[in-house]
Chains A and B, each alone.
Chain A
């Protein structure tokens, strides 16, 4: 696999890097501090086509691929992990399942709005009692004439309250276990749908994470995504793709922390010389650079497999596992190398360390990724 950049990707990288530096980085600390959703930047991203990178022109997408999409998530997360996850959830968890599993009517109705960024998308699988064990869904969907009636709730939903459309999983037949789970496209505004409490989080604080409540929520039957009972498969497939996005987010956080640290250690003097001249500093930076580059190759490899229609379940799990753990290590070491200053909000590494932790948890914990990787080995 040749992962060198094409001329097109070089131009794309030039654009996204400049956009991230000029538009996203200046507000990253503020949106974290104020827990403010950066809607104005999401609109700017929509204008440039960033909200629909891997979707074709016919659906108002940008006509790019997953390689470009992960490059975008990485570059945005390098300066602001909040912005990275907003894009990743929207694209991988809402646009992708409609594109991959939707009917032509569903694609025509929803994808242009999502890919153009006119609408923000989200995904609701997690429930209070169905986290890593996603099969323990309690939200119910009962067919009633031309509609399904949904009852239950979802928690920890990224983009909650800002999304216009959600991919929601619910039990249509509880007796069938995972084969009784179905997926639905639920618009904000459907009767009986509401957004509950917003979480106060350790990191990615500018992103909205909240509860979704379904009280006799009426969903037209044409909004069933895929076939009845096939929802669990759609959820797993969607998460395979989502993990590439989160891996790219983690990669970006790690790279951002390393960038800040390289700059800092050249300026910070102790014992009469810049701390970059101490071998302890150099060895730590060398190890981080090596791990980040390895993480990047795993992310690119998973994106390449998705782009070339190969199975990428294990690759995306490996990419997410390794990139997330690299992000946690890189940001922790970045804070350490910044010393006392790194523990303050004067420097961005403090925020980056808080942001990194979630990448080991959401869209499958690191333990889940290990389960996925091992299950392929032991099959």
Chain B
């Protein structure tokens, strides 16, 4: 079984501060990490490797610094890593990104493609589904659990707002995975030592089966009209009262907001 996991290097948004004047993100000094949902997807793939001896390839598009997350993936247990890097890829929105990734995937053997649900820097959740559309593959999004029959069929648990769905899907397919689906393994010390001896394949636009007009800024219909920082919500009010009084306060507040009559 060949699994390809699409991963992305993102700024660690838990460490991000905003410029109070410009309202933009201060990127300086913010560590870059493997996107958490993608790491959940990689862990899912590595569990299939543990159980069924699957071959796991990690694929990312980004600048050369993105090698760091590919090394991390090696240290966790990935077998092969590909970095898609080219000036022509720069400025890509989700559509151009998915075209680029799908272009690379067309040159690879796969039974299963896993992506994270969404990246913490953009939160769009679009790239995984778009890859499935470009490659004309079935897709299941928001996957939190996976069972494989060892042949052609996988049963996945898809998280929905108020519960979950159990779905059966035949491979090849695309799954987008939640970070909460598992506890990603630690890198092992030996894995870290060996990660730097393995080769990362560097692919530029020539290696990808896709028209140039679909790449980078040219292939990106999205235009950011304006970016702004959300206003602060008013401070919450604390009441230190008995439970009975608390109930009255809550009921009155709900009435004020016309949530109950």
Contact = CB atoms under 8 A, between A and B. Distances in A.
Interface stretch (A62-70, A140-148, A314-322): A62-70
A79 interface: no
Nearest to B72: A11
A37 interface: no
B193 A48 contact: no
B110 to A, nearest CB: 27
Given A11-B195, A64-B193, A48 B71 contact: no
Given A48-B186, A48-B188, A49-B188, A63 B71 contact: no
Nearest to B67: A7
A7 B71 contact: yes
Interface string B168-201: 0000000000000000001111111111100000
Nearest to A52: B189
Contact of B189 (A7, A14, A18, A64): A64
Contacts of A50: 189
B71 A62 contact: no
B158 to A, nearest CB: 28
Listed residue (A8, A11, A18, A19) with the most chain B CB atoms within 10 angstroms of its CB: A11
B186 A8 contact: no
A86 to B, nearest CB: 16
Contacts of B193: 8, 62-64
Contact of A7 (B190, B191, B194, B196): B196
B102 interface: no
A208 to B, nearest CB: 24
A112 to B, nearest CB: 13
7 contacts: A8-B192, A8-B195, A8-B196, A10-B68, A11-B71, A49-B189, A62-B190
Contacts of B192: 8, 11-12, 15, 64
Please name the 9 residue pairs, one residue from A and one from B, whose CB atoms are nearest each other, closest first. A62-B189, A49-B189, A63-B193, A15-B187, A62-B190, A49-B190, A49-B188, A48-B188, A11-B192
Given A49-B188, A53-B189, A64-B193, 15 more contacts: A8-B192, A8-B196, A11-B75, A11-B192, A12-B187, A14-B187, A15-B186, A15-B187, A18-B186, A19-B186, A48-B187, A57-B190, A62-B189, A63-B190, A63-B194
Question: Chain B at the A interface: mostly helix, strand, loop or mixed?
Answer: helix
Contacts of B196: 7-8
Interface in A36-75: 47-50, 53, 57, 62-64, 68
> How large, as a class, is the contact surface on chain B?
10 to 19
Contacts of B188: 47-49, 62
Contacts of B194: 63
Nearest to A6: B196
B165 to A, nearest CB: 31
A249 to B, nearest CB: 19
A64 to B, nearest CB: 6
Contacts of B187: 11-12, 14-15, 48
Nearest to B193: A63
A19 B192 CA distance: 14
Contacts of B186: 15, 18-19, 48
Contacts of A57: 190
A7 B193 CA distance: 11
A12 B71 contact: no
A363 B75 CA distance: 34
Nearest to B75: A11
A15 B193 CA distance: 12
Contacts of B195: 8, 11
B52 to A, nearest CB: 21
A106 to B, nearest CB: 23
B78 to A, nearest CB: 14
Contacts of A49: 188-191
Contacts of B68: 7, 10-11
A11 B67 CA distance: 12
A53 B193 CA distance: 10
Nearest to A49: B189
Contacts of A68: 189
Nearest to A10: B68
Contacts of A7: 68, 71, 196
Contacts of B191: 49
